[in-house]
Amino acid sequence: MDSQSLLICGIGGIGCNWAKNAHKKCKDLSDLLLIDGDSRSLDESAEGHLLSLGDSNSIDGCAALTPLANQRMLANAPLTSKVLSDAELVVLLVGLGGGSGSGAAAEFARQARRSGCLTIAIAALPFECQSLRRKIAQKSLQELRSTTDVCVQVSLDRLAIRSRERGLDWQKDSGWVEDLATGVIQTLAKVGLINLDLMDLRSIVSRTGGSTMFVAQGNPDNPEELFSKTMKSPLEGVSMAGATGCLIQVEGGLDLTLGQVDSVAEAFTKGLDSEAQVIFGARVSEELEGIVRVVAVLSGLPINTL
């Protein structure tokens, strides 16, 4: 798959920061699109496409209001369609609750879908103490869910705690969000032992119900610990229970054994419905010596557990 078929898109201040970081980690495999009303996000040095939702050079742009950002995104459809025409998969990163991100994300996802892209959103929800922002975010989240194939909800409260533990700044380099975005890009871009492709992903996410996705990385000899650590990720209420579809990719170093692949896959799929459709992939990467990485997409989830 060439790099233009996989597009990482950041919308709004936080979304653009995360997208730039994620793209740095998989530059050769993906393209980048940054969208914001604030010119500070549209970093000329980032190797990608920049779309300003403001029509002046003022630092705040003109898209601080949610409906205005939405209108501007609509008006820019002819421009985005050029970038989207080469893309097959879009990974959209956004912090909801602000003006640009909340106003433009669902409309952009709609445009991506119309162009035939499979669309995965990773959307952060505001801190619990930010009640007005949470109200705005809930509304845009509902729209985003209906316009994307997979919508992963991330809690900023949990993300900030996890980032602090890792010595990172959640606004600039959350670590976890970037790992999730690059995990899915790498899974689909590189050929594996047992190959997964976009058709497999499409088949999983086409199931009725909610979808989510996670990435786990750790010791291949302790899959149970890896699994429970993953369930404590900054996702909003992640649960395997009730999922009817699962795409799972296990990736490890040259030293990875089939026994380890098997026990990792078992730990991550045993909570699934016995009737669930599971598509499995495995891959060896030299850079992962002694470490296993799991990328999983779950679908058919009851909406009220999301």
Contacting residues toward Mg ion, per CB under 5 A:
13, 38
Q: Which of 130, 203, 222, 239 binds ligand GTP (CB under 6 A)?
A: 130
Using the rule CB under 6 A, give the single segment among 124-132, 188-196, 214-222, 246-254 that binds ligand GTP.
124-132
Q: Which of 76, 100, 140, 155 binds ligand GTP (CB under 6 A)?
A: 100
Closest CB 116 distance from Mg ion, rounded Å = 30
Spatial distance between the Cα atoms of 280 and 187, rounded to a whole number of angstroms: 11
98 scored as a contact of ligand GTP (CB under 6 A)? yes
User: What is the strand order of the sheet 49-52 is part of?
Assistant: 49-52, 31-36, 6-11, 89-95, 118-125, 150-155
- Please provide residue 219's backbone torsions phi and psi, each rounded to the nearest 5 degrees: -75, 120
What's the one-letter identity of residue 178? Answer: E
Measured between alpha carbons, how far is residue 100 from residues 37, 129, 173, 270, 273 in Å? 6, 21, 20, 40, 39
Tell me the CB-side half-sphere exposure of residue 270, using CA atoms within 13 A. 10
97 scored as a contact of ligand GTP (CB under 6 A)? yes
Q: Which of 48, 54, 101, 192 binds ligand GTP (CB under 6 A)?
A: 101
50 scored as a contact of ligand GTP (CB under 6 A)? no
Spatial distance between the Cα atoms of 39 and 173, rounded to a whole number of angstroms: 19
- The sign of the CA dihedral 155, 11, 179, 90 is positive
In this complex, which beta carbon is closest to Mg ion, that of residue 54 or of residue 192? Answer: 54
Q: How many residues bind ligand GTP (CB under 6 A)?
A: 21
280 scored as a contact of ligand GTP (CB under 6 A)? no
300 scored as a contact of ligand GTP (CB under 6 A)? no
Q: Which of 95, 210, 223, 252 binds ligand GTP (CB under 6 A)?
A: 95
63 scored as a contact of ligand GTP (CB under 6 A)? yes
Spatial distance between the Cα atoms of 228 and 219, rounded to a whole number of angstroms: 13
Note the residues at the interface with ligand GTP (CB under 6 A). Answer: 12-15, 36-38, 63-64, 95, 97-101, 126-127, 130, 133, 156, 171
